[in-house]
Structure formats: C-alpha cells, structure tokens
Amino acid sequence: MRVDPVTDVLLAVDVQPDFMPGGALPVPGGDQVVPVINRLLAGPFRHAVATQDWHPPGHMSFASAHPGRAPFETVSVPYGVQTLWPDHCVQCTPGAALHAGLDQSRIELIVRKGFHPSVDSYSAFQENDRVTSTCLDVWLRARGFRRLFLAGLATDFCVAWSAEDAVRAGFEVVVVEDACRGIGLSTGPGRTTVDDARDHLRHTHGVRFVDSAELSAV
C-alpha cells in the first residue's frame, strides 16, 4: 500500500509507559509497538499525531474511586457502562508521559484525553459521553489529511474507538496491526475483545488492517 506523504497521517495512540510491561495498566507486548512506529515515522510518513491519556488523580474510571470495586469490573455512569481500571496515566507522572523511545520529530499535535474527572475517554475524537469533542477531526481537515493510519495501544479499546470515530468523521481508516497491541479480555470461548474489535471495524465500518511491511512511500 502506498502512503501519500501529503494527505496521509499516522495516529499514534497512547504510547505511554503505563500501558507497557511494568506499567500500571500493562498491555501484553505493549513496548513492542515503539520500534515499529519509529520505523513508520522514519519511512513513509511525514506527518503524525499522538494521543496521551491524561487522568487527574481520583478519576471516575479508576477502580480505586469506587470503594469495594475491583479493576475490570463495570459500573453504570450517566453516559452508560464504564469499565473500571487500575489507576493509570495520572497527569504529570512518568507513566503518563509519551514513551521516551518514541520518535516525536514528526508528531505535530498531541491530543490529551480523559482529563475531565467524571468522563472517561478512549477515542482520539470524542470522549465517552459521545458529546464532548476533542476537535481532532477539525484540525485534520484543516490540514488536508484524508486517510488515517492508526498505531498504538490498545487495539481493542483506544485504537478501536478512535478508528470507529475517524470513519464517522469521514476519513478513510487503516489499522497497522503489527504497530498495535491489545488487552484481550475474554468475551467467550476462543474470543477476546481484540477479535471482537477487529471484526466490528472491518465488517461494520470498512476499516482496513495491514502490516507495516505492506506500507511504502509514494
């Protein structure tokens, strides 16, 4: 697949230490996305955007904010069902920084999300209340970008939600599979949230999945 250096952009989702081995909410193999993303940034992509999970202490998505509840349980909140997480990506902590090994030289915009105390945010485009916009779509259109290539963490949550919202916003969307890793919660015999997210994005939203080796510059 040819990458257009003018109208294509790489979106690096939540490449942060807290989502990597040893972090507060580790994604299996999460650190393995960094060299793949760096190769993409050094190769076919001239433009990139990053997201950064950026929670205040005591955020409502933290299990610790709900006495008697444990991580990965769910609770009802005004905008629907909320998964509870371990405390992670707390503002101004080392785990919330973009990974030190990530090449940021082509990252032109960093979108911070999840900073409202009472609303979680997975998508780069819209918070989980499905009302509050990050305005990323406006910025992308103003810059003339038409196609988004997604990488980062985690495939089944923030990458998937960002991909779905990007399609809704009118962009063509491609997920670079080997530049992503998923949490992979079980959803049934032989199925995980990664399988469900991949099938949903492909069949409902027309999202393409590729390997980084398939990408080359125009």
135 is catalytic: no
Taking a C-beta distance cutoff of 8 angstroms, is the pair 150, 162 a contact?
yes
What are the Cα distances from residue 165, in Å, to 123, 150, 197?
A: 7, 12, 13
Pairwise CA distance, residues 149 & 218, whole Å: 15
Token pair, residue 178, equals: 């080997």
113 is catalytic: yes
> Which distant-in-sequence residues (6+ apart) come within 8 Å of 56 by Cβ?
90, 91, 115, 117
Strand partners, 113: 53
From 8, 14, 156, 165, the catalytic residue: 14
The radius of gyration of the chain from alpha carbons, rounded to an integer in Å, stands at: 16
Pairwise CA distance, residues 60 & 87, whole Å: 10
Question: If you ran DSSP here, which 8-state letter would residue 92 be given?
Answer: T
From 18, 53, 120, 158, the catalytic residue: 158
From 8, 31, 53, 113, the catalytic residue: 113
158 is catalytic: yes
Per DSSP, the three-state class of 148 is strand
Active-site amino acid positions: 14, 113, 158
